[in-house]
Amino acid sequence: MRKQIIAVAVLSALSVPAFAEVFPVPESWQVTQRIELKDGNFVNIYKDGKTAMENTFGHAVSMDPGQTMQARDGRTIKMEGNETLRIDLQNPLTSPNYS
């Protein structure tokens, strides 16, 4: 009986990611541009003008508003806001990074 309970608990824990789904986002959260930076990270520019930075693995990277970054094509991009929560909510398999 004890082994069966443990087996059910393990199988239940393994099936949780199967129920993960993308969080429905408002219209202003739609990404209008996704720009690759020289260091390999990406900057997402949203419809409302805010920006968010994510690394190559899709995890949010916190940056100070107003900081400038160099795009791979040579453009300079200024950080408008720090929308890390948008990236975390749109990717259900990453853990939130609230630092």
- Which residue has better confidence, 72 or 13? 72
Q: For residue 36, what pLDDT band results from cuts at 50, 70 and 90?
A: very high
Q: For residue 83, what pLDDT band results from cuts at 50, 70 and 90?
A: confident
Q: For residue 57, what pLDDT band results from cuts at 50, 70 and 90?
A: confident
User: Which CATH superfamily is 2-90 part of?
Assistant: Copper resistance protein K (2.40.10.300)
Is the Cβ–Cβ distance between 83 and 90 less than 8 Å? no
Distance of CA 8 to the CA centre of its chain: 32
- Rg for the chain (alpha carbons), in Å? 18
Per domain, the residue ranges of the chain are: 2-90
Q: For residue 99, what pLDDT band results from cuts at 50, 70 and 90?
A: very low
pLDDT value of position 98: 47
- Which residue has better confidence, 22 or 57? 57
CA atoms of 66 and 64, how far apart (whole Å): 6
Residue type, 72: R
Of the chain, the percentage scoring pLDDT greater than 70 comes to: 81
Q: For residue 73, what pLDDT band results from cuts at 50, 70 and 90?
A: very high
